[in-house]
Amino acid sequence: MITKRGPKVRVRAKGGRTAAQVRWLQRQLDDPFVAEAKKRGFRARSVFKLEEIDRKHGLLRRGMAVLDLGAAPGSWTQYAVQKGCRVVACDLLPMQPVAGAAIVQGDFTDPAVQDRLLALLAGPADVVLSDVAPNTTGLRNVDRLKAEAAAEAVLELAGRVLRPGGSCLVKLIKGAEAALLPRVRACFASWRLLRPEATRAQSSEIYLLATGFLGAGERPPTGADAH
Ligand SMILES: C[S@@+](CC[C@H](N)C(=O)[O-])C[C@H]1O[C@@H](n2cnc3c(N)ncnc32)[C@H](O)[C@@H]1O
């Protein structure tokens, strides 16, 4: 259990640091998830969101094939590999290698990149993870639409790669789920919305966990939602 503690070190506005840089640094220093990630050799604090979801919902198991979208800097990939999964990771940004994972740099919505991901998976995936975060504009509606479009693209790709019974975990901005639910209901036996402990208080992000992929073209029985 990671406890939230008060600030210990005060960051000063020296050496040409902007106010935004000072705020960012202070937040990093005050954040117990950042400290714990560093201690355990993970590249990002976001690993604790996946760890909590995995602990509570039994998402990842040894031998599973996992597609990790929006993977850089790589803490989710590290975690899935440690769980014994075979991981194919994709990000727009370069990512340091993770032993046991194949990494593709590119836009996961690009058909050529998708072909490469499918080739590396070399068969159906058990789990699709998406922590994809499109660049934000600061305009709430625009950012929500961008996040919605990214999540829609993740679900579309998941529909191509998942084995029947597979799962998809996708990051959303709160409120974007309404537009996605028709597709989720059509393709998965159940779904739920999750907000892990490690989510920053001011963040509007949530995760949609859809389980029991029905296979292409099938529909769930009425009332199958676990929500
Ligand atoms: C919050 S970070 C992911 C953190 C990661 N889960 C980890 O644990 O290290 C979001 C990532 O999504 C990536 N991203 C955004 N749009 C993308 C796209 N269209 N294709 C691939 N990656 C994308 C960004 O480059 C960024 O690295």
The alpha carbon dihedral of 61, 62, 63, 68 has a sign of: positive
* Nearest atom in ligand 1 to 70's CA: 12
pLDDT in tens, 130-166: 999 999 888 888 888 899 999 999 999 999 999 999 9
Residue nearest to atom 19 of ligand 1 (CA): 107
* 3-class DSSP assignment, residue 149: helix
Distances (CA, A) of 142 to 136, 176, 177, 206: 8, 11, 15, 17
pLDDT: is 73 or 221 the higher one? 73
Type of residue at 2: I
Give the model's pLDDT for residue 14: 72
Q: Rounded to the nearest whole angstrom, what is the distance from the C-alpha of residue 217 to the centroid of ligand 1? A: 29
- 131 CB near ligand 1 (under 6 Å): yes
- 105 CB near ligand 1 (under 6 Å): no
pLDDT in tens, 52-80: 999 999 999 999 999 999 999 999 999 99
- 187 CB near ligand 1 (under 6 Å): no
Overall average pLDDT of the 1-15 stretch: 63
Overall average pLDDT of the 27-51 stretch: 90
Give the model's pLDDT for residue 225: 43
DSSP for residue 25: H
- 132 CB near ligand 1 (under 6 Å): yes
Give the model's pLDDT for residue 55: 98
Q: Output the average pLDDT for the chain.
A: 89
Catalytic residue among 38, 39, 171, 174: 171
Is-catalytic flag, 56? Answer: no
Give the model's pLDDT for residue 97: 98
Give the model's pLDDT for residue 175: 84
| Per-residue pLDDT at 191 exceeds 90 | yes
Mutation pick for ligand 1 pocket among 92, 114, 136 (CB with most ligand atoms within 8 Å): 92
- 73 CB near ligand 1 (under 6 Å): yes
Q: Rounded to the nearest whole angstrom, what is the distance from the C-alpha of residue 90 to the centroid of ligand 1? A: 8
Q: What percent of the chain has pLDDT over 70?
A: 85
- Using CA atoms, how far apart are residues 24 and 11, in angstroms rounded to an integer? 10
CB 132 within 8 A of CB 152: no
Give the long-range contacts of residues 80-89, CB within 8 A, separation 24 or more: 80/50, 80/129, 83/54, 85/60, 85/61, 85/126, 85/127, 88/117, 88/120, 88/121, 88/125
Q: Which helix (H) or strand (E) holds 130?
A: strand 125-130
- Using CA atoms, how far apart are residues 140 and 214, in angstroms rounded to an integer? 34
Domains of the chain, first to last:
1-30 (no CATH), 43-213 (3.40.50.150)
pLDDT in tens, 12-21: 667 777 777 7
Provide the pLDDT confidence category of residue 23 given band limits of 50, 70 and 90.
Answer: low
- Using CA atoms, how far apart are residues 75 and 57, in angstroms rounded to an integer? 19
Q: Which tokens hold the place of 92?
A: 């727009």
Q: Which tokens hold the place of 43?
A: 């590249």
Other C-beta atoms closer than 10 Å to the C-beta of 226 total: 12
